[in-house]
Amino acid sequence: MENRSIVNFTCEKIKELTMQLAQSLAKRNLTYSEPYHNMKLIGIYAKNRYEWILTDFACIFLGITSVPLYDTLGIVNLSYCL
Protein backbone atom coordinates (compact mmCIF):
# COMPACT_ATOMS: atom_id res chain seq x y z
CA MET A 1 0.00 0.00 0.00
CA GLU A 2 1.25 3.49 -0.88
CA ASN A 3 2.19 5.97 1.80
CA ARG A 4 -0.27 8.79 1.21
CA SER A 5 -0.15 12.13 2.89
CA ILE A 6 -1.94 15.42 2.48
CA VAL A 7 0.09 18.19 0.89
CA ASN A 8 -0.93 21.77 1.56
CA PHE A 9 0.17 24.65 -0.69
CA THR A 10 -0.40 28.36 -0.56
CA CYS A 11 -1.64 30.11 -3.70
CA GLU A 12 1.78 31.76 -4.02
CA LYS A 13 3.55 28.38 -3.92
CA ILE A 14 1.21 26.98 -6.58
CA LYS A 15 1.91 30.03 -8.76
CA GLU A 16 5.67 29.69 -8.24
CA LEU A 17 5.72 25.98 -9.12
CA THR A 18 3.42 26.55 -12.12
CA MET A 19 5.65 29.32 -13.51
CA GLN A 20 8.79 27.21 -13.06
CA LEU A 21 7.17 24.32 -14.88
CA ALA A 22 5.85 26.61 -17.64
CA GLN A 23 9.36 27.97 -18.22
CA SER A 24 10.74 24.44 -18.41
CA LEU A 25 8.03 23.33 -20.85
CA ALA A 26 8.58 26.39 -23.05
CA LYS A 27 12.35 25.73 -23.24
CA ARG A 28 11.89 22.11 -24.27
CA ASN A 29 9.20 22.72 -26.93
CA LEU A 30 7.56 19.34 -26.34
CA THR A 31 4.28 20.20 -28.04
CA TYR A 32 2.70 18.83 -31.18
CA SER A 33 1.38 21.57 -33.46
CA GLU A 34 -1.95 20.48 -34.89
CA PRO A 35 -2.26 22.43 -38.16
CA TYR A 36 -5.99 22.13 -38.90
CA HIS A 37 -7.20 23.83 -35.72
CA ASN A 38 -3.92 25.68 -35.07
CA MET A 39 -3.51 24.11 -31.64
CA LYS A 40 -0.50 23.14 -29.55
CA LEU A 41 -1.00 19.77 -27.84
CA ILE A 42 0.94 17.87 -25.20
CA GLY A 43 0.22 14.48 -23.64
CA ILE A 44 0.48 14.01 -19.89
CA TYR A 45 0.98 10.43 -18.74
CA ALA A 46 0.70 10.35 -14.96
CA LYS A 47 -1.20 9.09 -11.96
CA ASN A 48 -3.61 11.47 -10.27
CA ARG A 49 -1.50 13.64 -8.01
CA TYR A 50 -0.77 17.31 -7.46
CA GLU A 51 2.02 17.40 -10.06
CA TRP A 52 -0.55 16.59 -12.72
CA ILE A 53 -2.66 19.65 -11.94
CA LEU A 54 0.44 21.88 -11.78
CA THR A 55 1.41 20.63 -15.23
CA ASP A 56 -2.09 21.35 -16.50
CA PHE A 57 -1.93 24.88 -15.02
CA ALA A 58 1.41 25.44 -16.78
CA CYS A 59 -0.10 24.27 -20.07
CA ILE A 60 -3.05 26.63 -19.66
CA PHE A 61 -0.64 29.50 -18.97
CA LEU A 62 1.27 28.70 -22.19
CA GLY A 63 -1.86 28.21 -24.31
CA ILE A 64 -1.21 24.49 -24.71
CA THR A 65 -4.03 21.94 -24.72
CA SER A 66 -3.14 19.05 -22.44
CA VAL A 67 -4.24 15.56 -23.41
CA PRO A 68 -4.48 13.26 -20.37
CA LEU A 69 -3.09 9.77 -20.86
CA TYR A 70 -4.20 7.91 -17.75
CA ASP A 71 -2.00 5.38 -16.00
CA THR A 72 -4.79 2.82 -16.40
CA LEU A 73 -3.92 2.51 -20.10
CA GLY A 74 -1.64 -0.37 -19.16
CA ILE A 75 1.45 1.08 -20.80
CA VAL A 76 4.47 0.01 -18.81
CA ASN A 77 7.40 1.59 -20.62
CA LEU A 78 7.20 4.85 -22.57
CA SER A 79 10.96 5.19 -23.03
CA TYR A 80 10.58 4.43 -26.74
CA CYS A 81 8.67 7.74 -27.10
CA LEU A 82 11.60 9.81 -25.88
Q: Is residue 4 part of a domain?
A: no
Q: Is residue 1 part of a domain?
A: no
Total domains in the fold of the chain = 1
Q: Domain limits at 74?
A: 11-81
Cβ atoms of 42 and 31 closer than 8 Å: yes
Rounded (10°) CA dihedral 42, 44, 50, 77 = -150
Per residue in 10-58, pLDDT (tens digit) is: 999 999 999 999 999 999 988 888 888 888 998 888 777 888 899 999 9
The reported pLDDT for the residue numbered 50 is: 85
